Chains A and B, each alone.
Chain A
Amino acid sequence: MSDARARILAKVKASLRAESRGPEAVAALEARLSDPQRGLVPARAQLDAAGRLALFERMARAQSASFDHLQDLADVPAAVSRYLKAENLPAKLRLAPDPDLEALPWHDESLLTVESGRATGDDLVSLTGCFGAVAETGTLVLTSGPTGPTSLNFLPDTHIVVLQADQVVGPYEDLVARLRAAYGAHVMPRTVNFITGPSRTADIEQTIQLGAHGPRRLHILLVGAKAAPARD
């Protein structure tokens, strides 16, 4: 295979006449990577905090996500019970192994069974946090890690996501900046999921059907939206 590497790179370089690339050109390429510049950011994504929240909700709802607005993180367990009851879903929850979520007052919901960990094939409902959200397209962003098993985002029929108002950014580029701040330059976790609405397919006669392989429902618990101060 290293032979293939040498052959391919030699052919690429020959086709590009890359040997004539001078040190200034190489420095410019390095600079482009070490100091990444933004391209054109759509005007729609450049909003204040309230505008971002409104756009995020409008775009996500357009992709069939549902919403509940909560004042406080402690309101999450009651909101989950309410949602499961309204949707006629079993009162059983697979929780992301996230200490902040595990510490919530789940014991107040006596009818709700809560277990944390990665998804098994039998889990019907999962609840996770998220890394952030992008208003531009109504997109949630979830990263893998000790507190975020990726299987929770795809295996259960219903995925409930807790999103804090100050996690919502306008364009993709702001989210990228937050990823770099959290993980370091040029470093990514194993998986970053951009999720916009529940799973869907149009593979049969171009008719859109929800719930192809991933979740049939995506429910977003938006926490602290009203009190959200303008940030960034």
Chain B
Amino acid sequence: MESRAHSFSANAHDALNDAQLQKALGFVKSGFIERRRQAADQLPEFEALRDQARDIKNHTLDNLDFYLERYEAQLQAAGGQLHWAATAEEARAAILKICQDAGARLVTKGKSMISEEIGLNGFLEQAGIDVAETDLGEYIIQLRKEPPSHIIAPAVHVTKEQVRADFLSHHKDLPPDRQLDDPPQLVAEARQILRQRFQDADVGITGANFLIAETGTSVIVTNEGNGDLTQCLPKVHIVIASLEKIVPNLEDTATILRVLARSATGQECSTYTTYSTGPKRAEDPDGPEAYHVVLLDNGRSGMLGSAFRDVLRCIRCGACMNHCPVYHAIGGHAYGWVYPGPIGSVLTPSLIGVQEAGSLPNASTFCGRCEAVCPMRIPLPKMMRHWREQEFARHLTPTAQRWGLKAWAFLARRPALYRVCTGLAMRSLAALGRGRGRFRRLPLAAGWTDHRDLAAPQGASFQSQWRRGLRAKVRS
């Protein structure tokens, strides 16, 4: 997928002024947070399970080469084929070749963020293969020619009125005066349209939530059942997954499953958790005749040896963005690439470079909610700070900001001078703002005053008040 992360600031500005988007984002704030809290409260062991889930992933990443090789051996023993892909380009080529060898004209797809990462749909379509997204949210954004704006709710930025308009303009064989005002009617129509595509498809492509080394199994966790129809009806099933999806065994999978759905949608568990191991057996009445797994690196093997290894624990639940005040304000598209929200702010610079995505780690108030809810306890704020340091060290920070930071650093290292300067600034601002008690405009502070007034200081600086208060306490 092509990145628009470099224009984050402009993207965010547009998002804040998009009335439809702002209406749709209201559903994120009201729904996800409360449901997750209830699900966590209903399981007394939830916090302890988060610790265990983190430890399992740490153990796996520490020994990733061992588990990758075991996974490969078990997958092959079950009759599956593994395709290693160092880059997005290699992954796309591997998938195209499998599709072409199968004579595929129509491919159905379950939801996969890795597919977005490698820009698969456009690539297959250019090669003359029809691609049908089957997850309802993915189907909606495919009609709209948009990328997903959330990792588990890809169409969360779309209102039902917009879905209605999209269905009316695309489903031309249906009567134009049909009732489509409510979600049940929209869901039923999508079900009807996609049913035929499931049965006509030559190849089904899904992602994976886990790859289990013990048995060579891939796992998908879904609610709609589209992933299952995608992988059970066509003659070829392709799984596209990145290499940090590995877990050692079935018990480890059970532990992580207990925190995944609760963190994501606030469900006790998702409707469908599906374990796939190899192609159909000779005596099976249905299922795919061939089973391929395309295993993508795309920079992750390098991240293993970097300060960002912990981010590879991510299980893509979306809790960090569901709880992020910045995501709530601007939605997912403003982040400009595949992964939005706090996880995107850390992952995107790692995968496509801080030069392109340096603005993202700055899109944080450091409120810490993302780390507080992350089931894998990824220290996201710490990592965003790390990227900010890298950005500064590589001279990617804007000039005005660099000079500002330098001036501040100069003063901060000289406490006496700092006190004189801030005291002077406070007194002059207080004098200037005496009339109204606030400023409508202030030079160098347009970023603040364009949107709200700046309160004029009401007396001495904090430091001088503190000193006086302290002295008063010592005296009494």
Given A149-B285, A150-B228, CB of A11 within 8 Å of CB of B302: yes
- Bound together, the chains give a CA A165 to CA B120 distance in angstroms of 46
A14 partner residues in chain B, CB cutoff 8 A: 305
Which of B140, B191, B258, B283 meets A212, CB within 8 Å?
B191
Interface residues of B in 185-201 (CB under 8 A from A): 186-188, 190-191, 194-196, 198-199
- Bound together, the chains give a CA A37 to CA B223 distance in angstroms of 29
Interface string of A9-42 (1 = CB under 8 A from B): 1011111101001000010010011001111101
- Bound together, the chains give a CA A192 to CA B277 distance in angstroms of 9
Inter-chain contact total with CB atoms closer than 8 Å: 268
In the complex, whether A200 has a CB less than 8 A from a CB of chain B is yes
- Bound together, the chains give a CA A205 to CA B28 distance in angstroms of 9
Which of the candidate stretches B84-92, B326-334, B387-395, B450-458 sits at the interface with the other chain?
B84-92
Q: Tell me if A179 and B250 are in contact (CB < 8 A).
A: yes
A207 and chain B: residue at smallest CB distance: B183
B232 and chain A: residue at smallest CB distance: A150
Q: Tell me if A33 and B213 are in contact (CB < 8 A).
A: yes
In the complex, whether A203 has a CB less than 8 A from a CB of chain B is yes
In the complex, whether B27 has a CB less than 8 A from a CB of chain A is yes
Which of B31, B45, B140 meets A42, CB within 8 Å?
B45
B344 to chain A, nearest CB (A): 20
Q: Tell me if B305 and A16 are in contact (CB < 8 A).
A: yes
In the complex, whether B70 has a CB less than 8 A from a CB of chain A is yes
A154 partner residues in chain B, CB cutoff 8 A: 225, 228-229, 232
B268 partner residues in chain A, CB cutoff 8 A: 59, 62-63, 137-138, 196
In the complex, whether A211 has a CB less than 8 A from a CB of chain B is yes
Q: Tell me if B52 and A8 are in contact (CB < 8 A).
A: no
Which of A26, A139, A149 meets B286, CB within 8 Å?
A149
Which of A39, A63, A149, A209 meets B271, CB within 8 Å?
A63
A160 to chain B, nearest CB (A): 16
- Bound together, the chains give a CA A11 to CA B87 distance in angstroms of 13
A25 to chain B, nearest CB (A): 8
In the complex, whether B134 has a CB less than 8 A from a CB of chain A is yes
Interface residues of A in 52-92 (CB under 8 A from B): 59, 62-63
Q: Tell me if A191 and B258 are in contact (CB < 8 A).
A: no
Given A1-B84, A4-B90, A63-B271, CB of A190 within 8 Å of CB of B251: no
- Bound together, the chains give a CA A189 to CA B156 distance in angstroms of 36
In the complex, whether B217 has a CB less than 8 A from a CB of chain A is yes
- Bound together, the chains give a CA A137 to CA B267 distance in angstroms of 10
Q: Tell me if B27 and A205 are in contact (CB < 8 A).
A: yes
B151 to chain A, nearest CB (A): 13
Which of A153, A171, A189, A201 meets B136, CB within 8 Å?
A201
B68 partner residues in chain A, CB cutoff 8 A: 9, 12
Given A154-B229, A172-B254, CB of A200 within 8 Å of CB of B45: no
B64 partner residues in chain A, CB cutoff 8 A: 12, 16
- Bound together, the chains give a CA A156 to CA B255 distance in angstroms of 32
Which of A11, A186, A190 meets B74, CB within 8 Å?
A186
In the complex, whether A107 has a CB less than 8 A from a CB of chain B is no
A7 partner residues in chain B, CB cutoff 8 A: 86
Q: Tell me if A144 and B297 are in contact (CB < 8 A).
A: no
In the complex, whether A158 has a CB less than 8 A from a CB of chain B is no
Which of A62, A203, A204 meets B135, CB within 8 Å?
A203
Which of A4, A186, A200, A206 meets B28, CB within 8 Å?
A206
In the complex, whether A167 has a CB less than 8 A from a CB of chain B is no
Q: Tell me if A203 and B304 are in contact (CB < 8 A).
A: no
Q: Tell me if A137 and B269 are in contact (CB < 8 A).
A: yes
Q: Tell me if A1 and B225 are in contact (CB < 8 A).
A: no
B411 partner residues in chain A, CB cutoff 8 A: none
- Could you list some 24 contacts between A and B, CB below 8 A? A39-B254, A40-B45, A40-B48, A42-B45, A62-B268, A144-B280, A154-B232, A172-B258, A173-B254, A190-B278, A191-B232, A191-B277, A192-B275, A193-B228, A200-B224, A200-B271, A202-B265, A204-B140, A206-B153, A212-B223, A213-B198, A214-B225, A214-B229, A215-B225
User: B-contacting residues of A (Cβ < 8 Å)?
Assistant: 1-2, 4-5, 7-9, 11-16, 18, 21, 26, 29, 32-33, 36-40, 42-44, 59, 62-63, 97, 117-119, 121, 137-139, 144-146, 149-151, 153-155, 171-173, 176, 179, 186-207, 209, 211-215
User: A-contacting residues of B (Cβ < 8 Å)?
Assistant: 24, 27-28, 30-32, 43-45, 48-49, 52, 56, 62-66, 68-70, 74, 78, 83-86, 90, 94, 134-137, 140, 153-156, 158-160, 163, 183-184, 186-188, 190-191, 194-196, 198-199, 213-215, 217, 223-226, 228-229, 232-233, 243, 248-252, 254-255, 257-258, 265, 268-281, 283-287, 295, 297, 301-306
